[in-house]
Amino acid sequence: MKLAILFGGASFEHEISIVSAITVKEKLKGFELEFIFCDQDHTFYYVDPSRMKAVTFSKGEHKKMPRLTLQNGGFVKKSFLSSTVVGTSVLNLIHGADGEDGIIASMLDFYSIPFIGPRTAACVFSFDKRYTKYLCEALHVKSVAYETLNKNDERKVNVSYPFIIKPARLGSSIGVSVVKEEKELDYALDVAFEFDENVLIEPFLAGVKEYNLAGCMIEGEIKFSIVEEPQKNEFLDFEKKYMDFSRSATVSSAEIDDKLVTELQNTFAKIYINLFEGALIRCDFFVVDGEVYLNEINPIPGSMANYLFDDFSKTVSGLLASLPKEKRAGVSYQYIHSISSAKGK
């Protein structure tokens, strides 16, 4: 089964995407894999699987590799006398901007290229943390209380200390700070506003239980991963999350009762159904006083959350065979013909 891994992108998470792609390469046994690298200037390159090493990109060696163009149904690799179509089925593994904001999804849809990943509407509600809050409100899913702040607003925060500041449209804990007292506020906002014009401010919940659950729709039913309880200190900072993106060993299930597992799965299903079909996503949850709260949706999780599945290759294979079919409007020009006939032309 052929599958092209699309990675890179013009994003603060560009390098993380490279790490994810290298990790997924080792986990997708039984696939005939192709690798398509999107450089930060939005040039696409065909990367031989044997060259899938971090130094290939850090040294700029990819720039000597075949460039790709797009056509309906796939990417095109041209040589002197011929051209070859590659990437006829794609796994979108671009984290952050481009991959998770809907740009790549729209591009692949436009060129009728089947792909694993969030569709444009799903990207809208998961890439911007403010819109994720709106989605929770619409679906009656609990989430932590929050405020938003724009870089041009007065730096006034009503949330009690300590609180956490997050760029609205960035993952991997980049630009995130825990603010424990007023003297730390300006610096934390300066850091966050380096990455986004808008930030989300939430109360910092000390000692909260956190659980991660991944899943995707296969043959009309959600295939759930195990539930993981991530190990963390104060919060999952960039360095720990960066290392998480190279995880490949299957982790152990959280030691929780069946009732909580079912509640986490039901909440996941509320978020996933009718929005995320075609994608493998991971939801990160808080449990506070026995209540489940959505913390974050990861529409393209690090290394595709491979470590949460007993048989990751089988899961991806099933998802690839269950992608939603895009409906396109038929064009017959009947309206124009009827106008022309009425005018006698």
Provide the β-strand partners of residue 35: 5, 47
- With a cut of 50, say whether residue 12 has pLDDT above it: yes
- With a cut of 70, say whether residue 307 has pLDDT above it: yes
- At residue 242 the predicted structure's pLDDT band, cuts being 50, 70 and 90, is very low
- At residue 234 the predicted structure's pLDDT band, cuts being 50, 70 and 90, is low
> In CATH, what is the architecture of 2-116?
3-Layer(aba) Sandwich (3.40)
- With a cut of 80, say whether residue 184 has pLDDT above it: yes
- Side by side, which strands form the sheet with 163-167? 147-150, 198-203, 163-167, 177-179
Per the structure block, which two tokens stand in for 32? 């005939």
Residue-level pLDDT at 52: 97
Residue-level pLDDT at 246: 57
∠ CA 90-27-169, nearest 5°, is: 55
Average pLDDT value for residue range 74-87: 92
Tell me which of 312 and 243 has the higher pLDDT: 312
- With a cut of 70, say whether residue 172 has pLDDT above it: no
- What is the Rg, in whole angstroms, of the alpha carbon atoms belonging to the chain? 22
* Predicted confidence (pLDDT) per residue in 85-137, tens digit: 999 999 999 999 999 999 999 999 999 999 999 999 999 999 999 999 999 99
Rounded percentage of the chain residues whose pLDDT exceeds 90 = 81
- In sequence order, the 6+-apart residues with CB closer than 8 A to the CB of 236 are 173, 230, 244
- In sequence order, the 6+-apart residues with CB closer than 8 A to the CB of 10 are 38, 40, 41, 42, 97, 98
Residue-level pLDDT at 255: 95
Q: Where are the domains of the chain?
A: 2-116, 123-142+206-320, 147-203
Residue-level pLDDT at 247: 61
Tokens 């990943």: give the residue: 117
- In sequence order, the 6+-apart residues with CB closer than 8 A to the CB of 104 are 6, 9, 38, 92, 94, 98, 117
Residue-level pLDDT at 345: 60
Among residues 314, 327, 300, 312, which one has the least CA distance to residue 118? 300
- With a cut of 80, say whether residue 319 has pLDDT above it: yes
Q: Are strands 83-86 and 198-203 parallel, antiparallel or unpaired?
A: unpaired
> In CATH, what is the architecture of 123-142+206-320?
2-Layer Sandwich (3.30)
Asked if residues 121 and 297 have their Cβ atoms less than 8 Å apart, the reply is no
∠ CA 241-60-117, nearest 5°, is: 45
- 3-class SS of residue 19: helix
- With a cut of 80, say whether residue 171 has pLDDT above it: no
Least trusted range by pLDDT, from 130-134, 150-154, 238-242: 238-242
- At residue 237 the predicted structure's pLDDT band, cuts being 50, 70 and 90, is low
Q: Tell me, what DSSP letter sits at residue 100? A: T
Q: Indicate the length of the chain as a whole number.
A: 345
Per the structure block, which two tokens stand in for 244? 């998480």
Residue-level pLDDT at 174: 82
Least trusted range by pLDDT, from 6-20, 165-179, 189-203, 285-299: 165-179
Least trusted range by pLDDT, from 27-31, 299-303, 329-333: 329-333
Per the structure block, which two tokens stand in for 185? 């506020």
The correct answer on CATH 3.30.1490.20 for the domain covering 147-203 is yes
- H or E segment and range at residue 341: helix 334-342
Q: What is the pTM of this model?
A: 0.90
Residue-level pLDDT at 203: 94
